[in-house]
Homo-oligomer: A and B are copies of this chain.
Amino acid sequence: MEPSATTPADPLALVSIDRRSPVPLYFQVATELQRLIEDDALPTGSRLTNEIEMADRLGVSRPTMRRSIQYLVDRGLLVRKRGVGTQVVRAQVNRTLELTSLHDDLERAGRKPGTRVISVDQVAADAVVAAALELAESTVVWHVRRLRLADGEPIAVMSNYLPVPLVEVSAPLLEEHGLYELIRAAGVRIRIADQTIGATTATTGQARLLGERRGAALLTMSRTAYDDVGKPIEYGTHVYRASRYSFSLTLVER
């Protein structure tokens, strides 16, 4: 019982919820619990009191309490066992691969994202692009090529194809905003994406753009993104410098 790092006997006393808020109760509770876990008020390994008592103490119903807890279980922060209880497994989760642009990704990592637009054209879709976007071959689509930078250093070359009627793109816009940001701003909600992650070695052209040597290891990612009614929104093939970038993720078994 060191006086320095006293864990309050009752971390639950620290959570407060606001019934007038438009934020759903279960989400408020989940967020507060997550904060307690991250702040180590509920340290890894500690057991939570049972859900009935917690519901009681927080003044919510048991289903609401359960929903909050389940939310954190799905994220891998908590583990529940029937007949046993609920336990904190870990404080931080490297969330699963997400539907974010590299732009957002880098910003979260504290690195300054940059973009050099190589080209913005309307081109006739070849067989691969047409198939991915579910359009007739040689339909005209946007083709955007960009060199992405982090703290001024080349990170990736990205090549994206988009249906023309969907969103207006231009070099100046793309220098300032991520592509996904522009798509969202156009009122399109991206909901599902199929991705394939592989590896290759740099061609002379890729090497020159990225500041690597020919034959250097590159991480490849191709992605087709769909909106919430299943319509293809974007198809892209990207190559990352393996020496500067990798994908990190946390998997949670359900």
Chain A residues at the B interface, C-beta cutoff of 8 Å: 44-45, 76, 79, 81, 87, 89-90, 94, 96-99, 189-201, 215-220, 226, 228-230, 242, 245-253
Q: In whole angstroms, what is the CA distance A188 to B228 when docked?
A: 38
Contact B250 A192 (CB under 8 A): yes
Q: Which residues of B contact A195 (CB under 8 A)?
A: 247-251
Q: Which residues of B contact A197 (CB under 8 A)?
A: 197, 219, 246-249
A7 shortest CB reach to chain B, Å: 18
Q: Which residues of B contact A219 (CB under 8 A)?
A: 197-199, 219
Closest residue of chain B to A216 (Cβ to Cβ) is B201
Q: In whole angstroms, what is the CA distance A104 to B79 when docked?
A: 25
Closest residue of chain B to A81 (Cβ to Cβ) is B228
Contact A89 B229 (CB under 8 A): yes
Contact B99 A200 (CB under 8 A): no
A156 shortest CB reach to chain B, Å: 12
Contact B97 A97 (CB under 8 A): yes
Q: In whole angstroms, what is the CA distance A44 to B81 when docked?
A: 37
Contact A194 B248 (CB under 8 A): yes
Copy count, this protein chain = 2
Q: Which residues of B contact A248 (CB under 8 A)?
A: 194-197
The contact of A198 among B190, B216, B228, B246, by CB within 8 Å, is B246
A167 shortest CB reach to chain B, Å: 18
Most buried by B among A94, A196, A247, A253: A253
Contact A250 B193 (CB under 8 A): yes
Contact A192 B242 (CB under 8 A): no
Contact A229 B199 (CB under 8 A): no
Known contacts A199-B199, A201-B217; is-contact A230 B89 (Cβ 8 Å): yes
A228 shortest CB reach to chain B, Å: 5
Q: In whole angstroms, what is the CA distance A153 to B229 when docked?
A: 40
Closest residue of chain B to A195 (Cβ to Cβ) is B249
Q: In whole angstroms, what is the CA distance A197 to B94 when docked?
A: 13
Q: Which residues of B contact A193 (CB under 8 A)?
A: 250-251
Contact A249 B97 (CB under 8 A): yes
Question: Could you list 9 further interchain pairs (A-B, Cβ under 8 angstroms) beyond the known A189-B253, A194-B250?
Answer: A79-B229, A90-B230, A191-B253, A192-B250, A193-B250, A195-B250, A197-B249, A198-B219, A199-B200
Q: In whole angstroms, what is the CA distance A16 to B220 when docked?
A: 45
